[in-house]
């Protein structure tokens, strides 16, 4: 038995459409198109969710790596007693930290863009298919 809630029969849109007996509408084709639309939307959502999960995983990896590097840097900075050596070490550390942060931000932005593009590709493909289906239905009714 399905866990999906069912609509009362008086609210079943497919039954209502089939009972209307509209001469210009193929109810089965409409239902099949709607089903494909929902499948495409579901696939796009799945792609977006997978992308978000990959981004979150990578973000956690970056945070863990940063914390480890920061711990090592603090140890290294406190080990030298010469103020000039310590200042030079801190400057190098700040520069490398900044460069790594910019690289990490770019990597995460690229992941987000890739995920969004994949989800949009799924939707655009379905939209194109739907327009072809409409053209086909119109041509069939005119012919």
The pTM is what?
0.64
| In contact, 47 and 119? CB cutoff 8 Å | yes
Mean pLDDT (the chain) is: 82
Number of domain units in the chain: 1
Residue 80 forms part of a structural domain: yes
Q: Rounded CA gap, 46 and 58, in Å?
A: 18
pLDDT of 73: 78
What is the tens place of the pLDDT at every residue in 78-100?
A: 776 788 888 888 888 889 888 99
Q: Rounded CA gap, 105 and 99, in Å?
A: 10
Residue 55 forms part of a structural domain: yes
18 or 54: whose pLDDT is higher? 54
Residue 57 forms part of a structural domain: yes
Residue whose token pair is 């086909």: 136
The boundaries of the domain holding residue 47 are 34-142
Residue 13 forms part of a structural domain: no
Residue 127 forms part of a structural domain: yes
Query: CB within 8 A of 99, min separation 6: which ones?
Result: none
Q: Rounded CA gap, 113 and 94, in Å?
A: 28
């Amino acid at each position: 038995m399905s866990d999906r809630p069912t609509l009362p029969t008086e609210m079943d849109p497919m039954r209502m459409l089939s009972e209307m007996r509209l001469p210009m509408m193929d109810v089965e084709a409409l239902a099949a198109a709607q089903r494909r639309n929902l499948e495409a939307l579901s696939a796009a959502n799945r792609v977006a969710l997978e992308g978000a999960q990959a981004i979150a995983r990578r973000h956690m990896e970056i945070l863990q790596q940063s914390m480890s590097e920061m711990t090592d840097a603090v140890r290294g900075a406190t080990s030298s007693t010469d103020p000039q050596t310590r200042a030079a070490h801190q400057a190098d550390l700040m520069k490398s930290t900044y460069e790594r942060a910019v690289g990490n931000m770019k990597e995460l932005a690229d992941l987000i863009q890739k995920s969004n593009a994949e989800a949009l590709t799924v939707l655009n493909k379905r939209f194109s298919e739907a327009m072809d289906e409409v053209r086909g239905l119109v041509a069939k009714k005119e012919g």
